Amino acid sequence: MKAIELLNEIHNIDSYKRFGKVARVVGLMIESQGPEASIGDVCHIYVGSSKKQRKVTAEVVGFRDEFVILMPFTNINDISPGSIVEATSKPLQVKVGSGLIGKVVDSLGLPLDGSLLPKGLSSVGTDQSPPNPMDRPTIEESIDVGVRVIDSLLTVGKGQRVGIFAGSGVGKSTLLGMIARNTTADLNVIALIGERGREVKEFIERDLGPEGLKRSIVVVATSDQPALMRIKGAYTATAIAEYFRDKGLNVMLMMDSVTRVAMAQREIGLAVGEPPTTKGYTPSVFATLPKLLERTGTNQHGTITAFYTVLVDGDDMNEPIADTVRGILDGHFVLDRQLANKGQFPAINVLKSISRVMNHIVATEHKISAEKLRELLSTYINSEDLINIGAYKRGSSREIDEAIRYYPKIISFLKQGTHESISRDESIEMLKALIGTGG
Ligand SMILES: Nc1ncnc2c1ncn2[C@@H]1O[C@H](COP(=O)(O)OP(=O)(O)O)[C@@H](O)[C@H]1O
Ligand SMILES: [Mg+2]
């Protein structure tokens, strides 16, 4: 930098520190008189006795009359009237860089094991705007996820965003772990939002394993953390993925679950006085979700392929969050409890799932084989009850006879052991060979 530029920079530095003081605490909210700050700015609150003072980080979430409404990133109980609030005049930033790969961090980007961050990281803001839609390259190429049913029948494109809809215990974590270990993406960013601590440990140790962690950055905000931390987990993970996309990489982002992110936003919305609408969700939830989910996908430099899990109770796909998310994304995979109960894992219900990008990116022969398999499966499922009670007589319908012949082979094709790793090309060859057998 030239001397004159430096002088200008010095001249423009804001050398004031802005302070306020705590007036009231209402539930999760802290109201303070001052400091001068904008929505989304981070502030530090000095709490505790004067001898043992510590700094708590909070964010400006609103204003009421003359007061600034702050929400802390941690639970605090030693706050008192008059506690000093210092503005940083900046929204939340986290440190990112290749040194973060293989690490498990919290929503503020700090290692969960308490270790120090490596040197050489850059600061990025967690709240970014989605890329301009006009500048976004269309999705042209597929990406290996290493799960046969997906690669062959629900092919995912580089930069595609897919919702995984499922209840609890049907194999979400196992599936995400498989994808993280098997995918040909350059790097995984995995956000675990609102899970219990035990589930997080199980995911990292069992589902992801050391080989998966080696090529991943995991961001964790457990269910016991304040709503703001849970929301920020989603933002931080997305910002990390964006950083690597801007470096030209093909990033895989997995967020488990986006429903818990929506619930955290609802908690904040209700606390700042928003009116509840559908199922108690506040308007800001429906404003936040598209903004968050539109940040992934392609840009001029690289791609973020994203999987967002959505919790659906008893297969209720019309629940407001499921409905909103499905409308934003380019595909949805439904994990079916009935299949899981039968031991068919991964429990993806092919007929209820769709990849909206697949037809643009796969070869014709592959497409035809995939369509044929769907047709056979659908014919079988439609007559399954009749077949099972023995009411179907062989020879009555050529289609159903064919579907019955194929069915056992299709099921064993769809099943995949957790540690069975298969490339996309192998999966496609197997699909073509299966259809070519004639059942
Ligand atoms: N590919 C698979 N092969 C065999 N069993 C599986 C597979 N995926 C899931 N399971 C079984 O389902 C259980 C629940 O899976 P999990 O991924 O923890 O579900 P969720 O994250 O949806 O709660 C696992 O403990 C495992 O027994
Ligand atoms: Mg799980």
User: Tens digits of per-residue pLDDT, 182-191?
Assistant: 999 999 999 9
142 secondary structure, DSSP code: B
Whether the Cβ atoms of residue 258 and residue 144 lie closer than 8 Å to each other: no
Residue 170 C-alpha to ligand 1 middle, in angstroms? 6
Best of 345, 412, 416 for a ligand 1 pocket test (most atoms within 8 Å of beta carbon): 345
Residue 439 has pLDDT above 70, yes or no: no
Determine which of 146-160, 307-321, 338-352 has the lowest per-residue pLDDT on average.
307-321
Ligand 1 proximity of 257 Cβ (cutoff 6 Å): no
Number of the ligand 1 atom closest to the C-alpha atom of 256: 21
Residue 314 has pLDDT above 90, yes or no: no
Distance CA 156, CA 418 (A): 20
- What is the pLDDT averaged over residues 192-217? 94
pLDDT given for residue 2 in this prediction: 79
Mean pLDDT of the chain: 92
Q: Which residues fall within 8 angstroms of residue 259, CB to CB, at 6 or more apart?
A: 309, 310, 311, 321, 322
Distance CA 439, CA 434 (A): 8
pLDDT given for residue 315 in this prediction: 66
**pLDDT digit string (tens) for 152-172?**
999 999 999 999 999 888 999
- What is the pLDDT averaged over residues 210-231? 95
pLDDT given for residue 11 in this prediction: 86
Residue 332: pLDDT band by 50, 70, 90 thresholds? very high
Query: H helices of 155-298, where?
Result: 172-182, 197-202, 209-213, 227-246, 258-271, 283-293
Ligand 1 proximity of 166 Cβ (cutoff 6 Å): yes
Determine which residue's CA is closest to atom 15 belonging to ligand 1: 171
Residue 194 C-alpha to ligand 2 middle, in angstroms? 11
Ligand 1 proximity of 133 Cβ (cutoff 6 Å): no
Reported as type and span, the H/E element at residue 303 is: strand 303-311
Residue 438: pLDDT band by 50, 70, 90 thresholds? low
Ligand 1 proximity of 417 Cβ (cutoff 6 Å): yes
pLDDT given for residue 205 in this prediction: 94
pLDDT given for residue 390 in this prediction: 83
Reported as type and span, the H/E element at residue 4 is: helix 3-12
Distance CA 67, CA 33 (A): 5
Residue 407 C-alpha to ligand 1 middle, in angstroms? 23
192 vs 393: which has the higher pLDDT: 192
Ligand 1 proximity of 172 Cβ (cutoff 6 Å): yes
Residue 72 has pLDDT above 80, yes or no: yes
From the CA of 182, which ligand is nearest?
1
Number of the ligand 1 atom closest to the C-alpha atom of 169: 23
pLDDT given for residue 395 in this prediction: 81
Ligand 1 proximity of 168 Cβ (cutoff 6 Å): yes
- What is the pLDDT averaged over residues 407-422? 94
Query: H helices of 44-158, where?
Result: 148-153
Ligand 1 proximity of 171 Cβ (cutoff 6 Å): yes
Ligand 1 proximity of 170 Cβ (cutoff 6 Å): yes
Residue 169 C-alpha to ligand 1 middle, in angstroms? 6
Q: Omega of the bond prior to 257 within 30 degrees of 0, cis? A: yes
Residue 402 C-alpha to ligand 2 middle, in angstroms? 37
| 3-state SS assignment for residue 178 | helix
Distance CA 166, CA 70 (A): 35
Distance CA 115, CA 436 (A): 55
CB atoms under 10 Å from CB of 29, counted, come to 20
Ligand 1 proximity of 333 Cβ (cutoff 6 Å): no
Measured CA to CA in angstroms, residue 197 lies from 161, 202, 281 at distances of: 27, 9, 25
- What is the pLDDT averaged over residues 354-373? 95
From the CA of 200, which ligand is nearest?
2
Distance CA 276, CA 298 (A): 34
pLDDT given for residue 334 in this prediction: 95
From the CA of 206, which ligand is nearest?
1
From the CA of 148, which ligand is nearest?
1
Radius of gyration, alpha carbons of the chain: 25
